[in-house]
Amino acid sequence: MTEFKQKGRDSLKNGRIIKALSGFYYIQSEDGKIYQTKPRGIFRKRNESPLVGDEVKFSASAITEGTLEEISQRSNQLTRPTVANVDIGVIIMSLKDPDFSTSLLDRYLVSLEQHHIQPVIWITKTDLADEKEYEKVKVHADYYRKIGYEVILPERDKVLEQVEVEDLFGSMITKRLAVFLGQSGAGKSTLLNRLDANLQLKIGETSKSLGRGRHTTRHVELVPLLGGLIADTPGFSAIEFDDIAAADLAVCFPEIWETGRECRFKGCVHQNEPNCAVKTAVNKGTIAQHRYDHYLSILEEIQNRKPRYGKKRGS
């Protein structure tokens, strides 16, 4: 019996979930084929939900007749967008319409840092800004570079051509899963479609070979691009921090974490404690005031949140 089970396991295919829709999970196998599958009942009994991005094992008698059998351990998972095993998060921030917001940017950064996802900040719509507006955002961009973040800020009055965007992104995304984050109107779709003029069509329809036709429901889907996978998601700006402990928040602010090592008291959260190295650095200007203010705002949000119970894996 054990030998039979092992043979059955050896016959399973390896793949990654690239889309979840209407109870079906679409899995791209190692040879590039896409299979339509339904999950085994055991996942429901375990209170587990497969996620887009999951590396899985599955069986299939045909392209449209497959069963999702096993989910490999995840390196991370985001809840908004709902996707697992993300390598890089590209934060799309517009300079204008909507206006650049360090508060929103820092919330995106924390959401990536807590899951150990490499952030990249891409500032769009620079061609809409006047010189004063551009220089103000450039100061912010220089600060974020200083504390270790990759920031892409095109020149004012310049719209990047497709080849320029590909050069900037190519080495980052190859063989990696990237999520694009950004509020509605920030230029995320425009940027993606500049990378591939047919991308919008690819996202908007399901392969006819799967017999599913077109869908208007917005959903997370992984799209092959530049040798990697891109998760295109609806724009959003509401970000919650349900899984971060107050004592761990500073880790998501690199300069605050590093400076906090010098605090007099172990466990200092840089709020009301005396002899706090972080507050001293803010007063000296070595830590930006807006970063510290945003840290305190999120810290208070965490301290005042109500406990949540019964959260299932993948929810």
C-alpha distances (whole Å) from 242 to each of 80, 109, 118 are 12, 15, 20
Superfamily holding 9-71: Nucleic acid-binding proteins (2.40.50.140)
Both tokens assigned to 3? 């030998």
Average pLDDT over residues 255-271: 96
**pLDDT band at 305, cuts 50/70/90?**
confident
The string of pLDDT tens digits covering residues 196-210 is 766 654 444 433 444
Angle between helices 188-195 and 162-173 (to 10 degrees): 90
The string of pLDDT tens digits covering residues 237-250 is 567 888 899 999 99
Average pLDDT over residues 154-169: 75
Alpha-carbon dihedral sign for residues 241, 244, 247, 253:
negative
Question: Picking from 101-110, 132-141, 162-171, 203-212, which range would have the lowest pLDDT averaged per residue?
Answer: 203-212
pLDDT given for residue 27 in this prediction: 98
Average pLDDT over residues 271-282: 96
> Which of residues 29 and 186 earns the better pLDDT score?
29
- Distance (Å, whole) CA 186 – CA 188: 6
Question: Picking from 73-87, 179-193, 279-293, which range would have the lowest pLDDT averaged per residue?
Answer: 179-193
Both tokens assigned to 49? 């939900």
pLDDT given for residue 7 in this prediction: 42
Q: What's the burial of 167, exposed, middle or buried (CB within 10 Å: 0-12/13-18/19+)?
A: exposed
The string of pLDDT tens digits covering residues 178-234 is 998 888 888 887 787 777 766 654 444 433 444 443 433 357 789 888 888 988 666
Give backbone dihedrals phi and psi of 141, rounded to 5 degrees, phi first: -60, -40
CB-CB contact of 80 with 236 (8 Å) = yes
Question: Picking from 68-77, 180-189, 280-289, which range would have the lowest pLDDT averaged per residue?
Answer: 180-189
Average pLDDT over residues 109-126: 94
pLDDT at 310 over 90: no
- Distance (Å, whole) CA 181 – CA 79: 12
Mean pLDDT for the chain overall:
85
Question: Picking from 31-35, 103-107, 172-176, 264-268, which range would have the lowest pLDDT averaged per residue?
Answer: 172-176
Q: Which amino acid is at 140?
A: H
User: Which segment, 144-148, 172-176, 215-219, 302-306, is predicted with the most confidence on average?
Assistant: 144-148
State the fold for domain 77-232: Rossmann fold (3.40.50)
Residue extents of the structural domains in the chain: 9-71, 77-232, 246-304
The string of pLDDT tens digits covering residues 45-62 is 999 999 999 999 999 999
State the fold for domain 246-304: Ribonucleotide Reductase Protein R1; domain 1 (1.10.40)
pLDDT given for residue 268 in this prediction: 96
Identical topology for domains 77-232 and 246-304: no
Segments of the chain assigned E as strands: 13-21, 24-29, 34-39, 55-62, 65-71, 77-79, 82-84, 88-94, 118-124, 150-152, 177-181, 221-225, 228-232
Q: Which residues lie closer than 8 Å to 191 by C-beta, 6 or more apart?
A: 92, 122, 124, 165, 180
pLDDT given for residue 184 in this prediction: 80
Residue with tokens 């004592």: 247
How long is the chain? 315
pLDDT given for residue 186 in this prediction: 84
- Distance (Å, whole) CA 277 – CA 265: 10
Both tokens assigned to 152? 């892409």
Question: Picking from 32-36, 66-70, 143-147, 177-181, which range would have the lowest pLDDT averaged per residue?
Answer: 177-181
